[in-house]
A and B are shown apart, each in its own frame.
Chain A
Amino acid sequence: MKNTLGSLIITAVMTHAQWLDYPTPGVPRLPNGKPNLTAPAPKTADRKPDLSGIWTTKAGYTGNIARDLKPGEVSFTPWAAELYKHRQDTLSKDDPQGYCVLSGVPREHVVPYPFKILNGTSGNGGMIAILYEALHSYRQIFMDGRKLPKDPNPTWMGYSVGRWDGDTLVVDSSGFVDNNWLDNGGHMGTEAMKLTERFHRRDYGHIDLQFTIEDPKAYTKPWTVNLEFTATPDSELIEYVCDENEKDLKHLVGK
């Protein structure tokens, strides 16, 4: 195992129960009753693509968010290169996730836990929210036209504003903490990080996410990752309580 964390973090085991098997209303279905994941993407009342639903990310990016990139595409600044090597050499023992703080963004989209996207009503001036199973966290994407704050208090989840570019939801985020981890392997983000995400629901069952990391403190040039989410209908999020019966931390010693 490259990453101690992958093995140490408690993994929520899907149990089969009526709550989880409850058929999601409104899902297009095949004659055999199974969800038709290639049906057209739904629209909201105001004719925008509706991203609502439970989604699971494509497996394989938890340890290395940049696994599809060619050598040199992720170009560290000197101190960041040194830090990344240190994290690899010490088996990611300093990963904040090991201490039950939030996974942060965009890492929430490479961990193997489902998440739910909700479309808010006018009462909040337009908002898309994401409920993440991992660490019981949530993220708000403001759709009310506000600008990103100029000098915000840094947070793990960052500040996010969204807009529509045709059928693509474009989300700009900043205001992240200086100790952000983007994956288990230790790709970092700093307070200078800007994240641009493009969500495109190409059919009922799939969202393509393309995101670009721009962080001149850690990387000499921006880099872009493509991910895919698959709809996970007829299921629900499971409670995830990181602190419950915590026995792992003392084993998180690296090498």
Chain B
Amino acid sequence: MNANKRKSFRLLAVTLVAASLPAAGQWLKYKTPGIPRTADGKADLTAAAPKTPDGKPDLSGVWRGDPGGYGVNVAAELKPSEIQPWAEKLYKQRLEDLGKDAPSYRCLPQIGPYTTFGMFKILQTPSAIAFFSEFNGSRQVLTDGRPLPEDPNPTWMGYSVGHWDGDTLIVENAGFNDKTWLDVGHPHSEELHVIERFRRKDFGHMDLKMTFSDPKIYSRPFSIDVELELVPDTELLEYVCNENEQSVKHFVITEQDRKQNRPNAKVAPEILAKYAGIYEMKNPEDPKGKPIAIWVLTEGDQLLMQMSGAGPKIPLAAQSDTTFSLLGGTVQFATDDRGAVTHFTMQAVEGDFKVARKGDLPPAK
């Protein structure tokens, strides 16, 4: 499968939707054996989590992870003062450039732990747990008791070792080069250390907490929470990033593009307040599945978006009273003839997405 059509959309996609579009085919619809099923034959995703013969939780299966807003700002829980000024400046610059220089847009790998974003498969064996990704190759977490190497040759994906703490798999990662980006722009150094904690709550759901420490750049560790969902009765697609590569030459940001992504209008707070609320869109990857909830919030004279009311709040740049820019895309609010906000339309390279207003935000605590 060619990767390039995903690239231009990636920046928006990482914020709002996991970007893998399944194609239909018999291989992809083959019923995964060994999955507990309800009376109607559907996978019972709330059945108990399985165990391996040696009594450990068995994490095997095809999973999907979506970093949500963390894909835009992985370090959202840090204050700017807790980030080295040069790194904060670099992040802002890369954001303004819409991530055009991202190594992953040039078919280079992301860090090993990010193999859990998008569709991936876990294969568990006693000495190694392998992660097969659609976009990030493969990665193995060695569970044969070895420690992390002390002075390794730096790699893109890093070195990973795992051990069990009760029912939680703890994976330690180190030995990274300093070339990958942690989101659309946050850099890291060779001292980056990542701890992942995987806990399979039931058959269909797994909690993942990733904690990053990199004292050369970030004054304290920070974490993100990712919910992983089992995807039954399907398979991974082959992803060959370099095949028929035509995209890189189009990664050009003009002054006009930069200008369009900055605030170019001042919108009265009472107008912004009308937009606040809970919105829903169909999951383009799974139109019949659970819709994607997007919260629109205000802070002072700033409009922000947040996935399902959790994770980072992503600022929108006002262009007019009704139109806002979001990472290269456009968000346009619509009202009915009485002036009530009905929905917003999100325009991206992939097309227009209608996101309907569902209700008010819960009262602030």
Which residues in A have some Cβ–Cβ distance to B below 8 Å? Answer: 15, 17-19, 22, 24-26, 45, 52, 99-102, 116, 118-127, 129, 131, 136-138, 140, 144-146, 149-153, 155-157, 159, 236-239, 241-244
Contacts and interface: CB of A to CB of B under 8 A. Distances in A.
Contact of A25 (B53, B144, B242): B144
B157 A243 contact: no
Q: Which 7 A-B pairs have the closest CB atoms?
A: A123-B60, A125-B33, A136-B137, A155-B238, A19-B149, A149-B27, A239-B155
Is chain B's binding surface mostly helix, strand, loop or mixed? loop
A241 B108 contact: yes
Interface stretch (B70-78, B123-131, B313-321, B343-351): B123-131
Nearest to B60: A123
Given A120-B60, A120-B125, A156-B240, 11 more contacts: A17-B151, A17-B152, A18-B150, A99-B242, A121-B124, A136-B138, A138-B130, A140-B236, A146-B30, A153-B23, A242-B242
B132 A138 contact: yes
Nearest to B175: A19
B127 A241 contact: no
B226 to A, nearest CB: 20
Which of A26, A121, A129, A159: most chain B CB closer than 10 A?
A121
A252 to B, nearest CB: 14
A20 to B, nearest CB: 9
B52 interface: yes
Contacts of A159: 27
Contact of A121 (B60, B132, B151, B237): B60
A120 B138 contact: no
B153 A118 contact: no
A249 to B, nearest CB: 11
Interface residues of B, number: 52
B162 interface: no
A231 to B, nearest CB: 14
B242 A119 contact: no
Contacts of B60: 120-124
B357 interface: no
Interface string B55-75: 000111100000000000000
Nearest to B158: A239
B238 A243 contact: no
A21 to B, nearest CB: 10
Given A17-B149, A22-B146, A156-B238, A241 B33 contact: no
Nearest to B236: A140
A56 to B, nearest CB: 17
A32 to B, nearest CB: 22
B189 interface: no
A131 B33 contact: no
Contacts of B243: 101
A101 to B, nearest CB: 5
A119 to B, nearest CB: 6
